Chains A and B, each alone.
Chain A
Amino acid sequence: MSDNVEKYIKRKVYKSENSRIAQKFVDAGLEKIRACINCGTCTGSCPSGRRTAYRTRSAIRKALTGDESVLQDIDIWLCSTCYYCYERCPRDIPVTDMIIKLRNIAVEEGYILDSHFTLANDIFYATGHGVPANGEANKKWQDLRESYGLPPLPPTVHSYPEAVKECQTLMKEAGFRKLLDNAKKLKEERKSVEENKEKEQEKEKESK
Chain B
Amino acid sequence: MSEKKNWRYGFFLGCVIPNRYPMIERSIREVFEELNAELLDLPGASCCPAPGVFRAFHIPTWLVIAARNISIAEELGVNPITGCNGCYGTLRDAWYDLEHNPEEKKHVNQLLAKVGRKYNGNLEPKHVVQALYLDMGLDYLRDHIKYKFKDLKVAVHYGCHIVKPSDKRPWNGEYEAPEFLDEIVEITGAKSIDYKDKYMCCGAGGAVRTAVKEVAADFTREKLVNIRDAGADIIINCCPFCHLQLDLGQVEVNNFYHDIIGEPFKIPVIYITQLLGVAMGIDPNRLGLIKNHELSGVSPFIPVEPFMEKIKQQLT
Could you tell me which A residues sit within 8 Å of B by CB distance? 47-48, 51-52, 74, 77-84, 86-87, 94, 96, 100-101, 103-104, 107, 112-113, 115-116, 119-120, 124, 128-133, 138, 140-141, 143-145, 147-150, 154-157, 159-160, 162-164, 166-167, 169-171, 173-176, 179
Could you tell me which B residues sit within 8 Å of A by CB distance? 13, 15-16, 18-20, 22-23, 25-26, 41-47, 49-61, 63-65, 68, 111-112, 114-115, 160-161, 164-166, 175-176, 200-201, 203-208, 210-212, 215-216, 218-219, 222, 286, 288, 291-293, 295-299
Residues of A within 8 A of B112 (CB): 170
Contact sample, A vs B, 29 pairs, CB 8 Å cutoff: A48-B219, A51-B219, A51-B222, A77-B208, A79-B206, A80-B204, A80-B208, A81-B56, A81-B205, A82-B200, A84-B164, A86-B164, A94-B165, A113-B211, A115-B210, A124-B47, A129-B19, A130-B54, A131-B47, A133-B18, A140-B295, A140-B297, A141-B19, A144-B298, A154-B18, A163-B46, A164-B46, A167-B68, A170-B61
Contact A129 B47 (CB under 8 A): yes
Residues of B within 8 A of A166 (CB): 44, 68, 115
Q: Please, which residue of chain B has its CB at the minimum distance from the CB of A74?
A: B211
Residues of A within 8 A of B291 (CB): 147
| Cβ distance B71 to chain A, nearest Cβ, rounded Å | 11
How many angstroms from the CA of A181 to the CA of B281 in the assembled complex? 53
Contact B215 A78 (CB under 8 A): yes
Residues of A within 8 A of B41 (CB): 155
Contact B22 A150 (CB under 8 A): yes
How many angstroms from the CA of A138 to the CA of B295 in the assembled complex? 12
Q: Among the interface residues B25, B47, B59, which one has the most CB atoms of the partner chain A within 10 A?
A: B47
Residues of B within 8 A of A48 (CB): 208, 215, 219
Q: Among the interface residues B25, B176, B208, which one has the most CB atoms of the partner chain A within 10 A?
A: B208
B contact patch SS: loop
Contact A100 B55 (CB under 8 A): yes
Q: A51-B215, A148-B288, A170-B68 are in contact. Are A107 and B58 (CB under 8 A)?
A: yes
| Cβ distance B23 to chain A, nearest Cβ, rounded Å | 6
Besides A78-B215, A80-B219, 17 more A-B contacts (Cβ < 8 Å) are A47-B200, A51-B219, A80-B201, A82-B205, A87-B166, A100-B56, A103-B56, A113-B211, A116-B53, A124-B49, A144-B299, A145-B22, A147-B292, A147-B295, A163-B43, A170-B68, A170-B112
